Amino acid sequence: MYKSIKTKLKLNNKQKTFLAQHAGYSRWVYNWGLSLWNAAYKDGYKPNARKLREVFTNHTKPLYPWMKNLSSKVYQYAFRNLGEAFKRFFQGLGKRPRFKKKGRSDSFTIDNCGKPVELNGWSHKLPFIGWVKTYEPIEATTQKITISRQAGNWYLSLSYEFSATPTPKITDVVGVDLGVKTLATLSTGQAFPSIKPYRTAQDKLAKLQRELSRKVKHSNNWHNSVIKLARQHRRVANIRKDALQKLTTHLAKNHGHVVIEDLNVSGMMANHKLAKSIADQGFYEFRRQLEYKTQWYGSELVVADRFFPSSKTCSNCGHVQDMPLHLRTYDCPECGLSIDRDLNASINLRHAVGLTVNACG
């Protein structure tokens, strides 16, 4: 089974320049090859990518010293791509290859001279390019990588052979309730405290913001404050990222089936207070991470129906009642159950899956 990844790169200006040079090299070679191909065809020859590449390597490349500073893989792949574009055109599968324009199709492909490229975690050593960082962890072994630019951002794409590495599971089925007071409550009784990084760091952010407003714009002090503020924002984002990564890894690694609610996010966003909390806690990100991590660890993500009343139903007898947000405890008038609101919801989510549930789960 093959899977593809495309993910954003975290780069400094020097790296961006280096990548832009490679993309420019790729475009230069592709356009050079295309114009020669067209000219040769007009003169009655039957060009192909391999022949053009030979001409380029032996006669053209030596004339341009700047090419020596860039990976030679770039031009090899540019010719390969040109050949494939013509092949698709001749088979009637694509349009006649056209010249690449700067800013529209900035990309290049490289490989590791036959050796696989290993990507593991947040930092990656790419052949020739060196160390780059990504905004999400990647686990993949691939033969080639493509780097491209879109709207000023750089992306890494690759495909790899995918094999799950299942981990032993503590619990067969776990229901997870995402909350406002608590980040996540598991049907096992385990709770992950709310991160609310913005709220806890809000005082500090507000203080920095006040300091900034008192300073003369573009003065040295003002610049220092801008940097401090940006640093605090980044710190806050990292706390959140870290908490979510830990939670989703724990869920996917230790549970056979992870049952979550299909959050009616647009409905919840109408509630201003809830909306901030949802944004803070990264609920979209939570689901996205679970989707790929359950695949990594051989578990399954189950998304309960959007209209499943997980908060309103008694997890013991099935009685349904209204549960306004301020009620933190579910008190059942039918069977007398009194249970934490979020725990009750998570147990309902666990029951929502028609599976045999481990007695101690």
Residues between 136 and 195 that touch Zn ion (CB under 5 A): none
Asked whether the beta carbons of 133 and 123 are under 8 A apart, the reply is yes
What H or E segment, with its residue span, contains residue 312? none
Q: Which long-range contacts (CB under 8 A, 24 or more apart) does 331-338 make?
A: none
Is the Cβ of residue 314 or residue 323 nearer to Zn ion in the bound state? 314
Query: Cβ 330 to Zn ion, closest distance in Å?
Result: 8
- Six-digit token pair at 19? 């990548």
From residue 337 to residue 356, the character string flagging contacts with Zn ion as x (rule: CB under 5 A) and all else as - is x-------------------
Q: Examine the residue annotation and report whether 261 is marked as an active-site residue of this protein.
A: yes
Q: Site for Zn ion (CB under 5 A): which residue of 161, 262, 291, 334?
A: 334
Q: How many CB atoms lie within 10 A of CB 166?
A: 12
* Segment lying near Zn ion (by CB under 5 A), choices 81-89, 204-212, 236-244, 332-340: 332-340
Query: Cβ 329 to Zn ion, closest distance in Å?
Result: 13
311-341 as b/e, with b when 16 or more CB fall inside 10 Å? bebbbeeeeeeebeeeeeebebeeeebebbb
DSSP structural state of residue 66: G
Is the Cβ of residue 212 or residue 337 nearer to Zn ion in the bound state? 337
Is the Cβ of residue 248 or residue 310 nearer to Zn ion in the bound state? 310
Query: Cβ 277 to Zn ion, closest distance in Å?
Result: 28
* Rounded distance between C-alpha atoms, residue 339 and residue 332, angstroms: 9
Query: Cβ 319 to Zn ion, closest distance in Å?
Result: 4
Residues between 290 and 329 that touch Zn ion (CB under 5 A): 314, 316-317, 319
Amino acid type, 13 = N
* Rounded distance between C-alpha atoms, residue 298 and residue 40, angstroms: 54
Q: Examine the residue annotation and report whether 177 is marked as an active-site residue of this protein.
A: yes
Asked whether the beta carbons of 107 and 83 are under 8 A apart, the reply is no
* Rounded distance between C-alpha atoms, residue 286 and residue 40, angstroms: 55
Is the Cβ of residue 276 or residue 319 nearer to Zn ion in the bound state? 319
- Six-digit token pair at 12? 């400094």
Catalytic option among 106, 261, 280, 340: 261
* Segment lying near Zn ion (by CB under 5 A), choices 1-9, 145-153, 175-183, 331-339: 331-339
Query: Cβ 336 to Zn ion, closest distance in Å?
Result: 7
Catalytic option among 177, 242, 285, 305: 177
Q: Examine the residue annotation and report whether 342 is marked as an active-site residue of this protein.
A: yes
Catalytic residues: 177, 261, 342
Residues forming contacts to Zn ion in the complex (CB under 5 A) are 314, 316-317, 319, 332, 334-335, 337
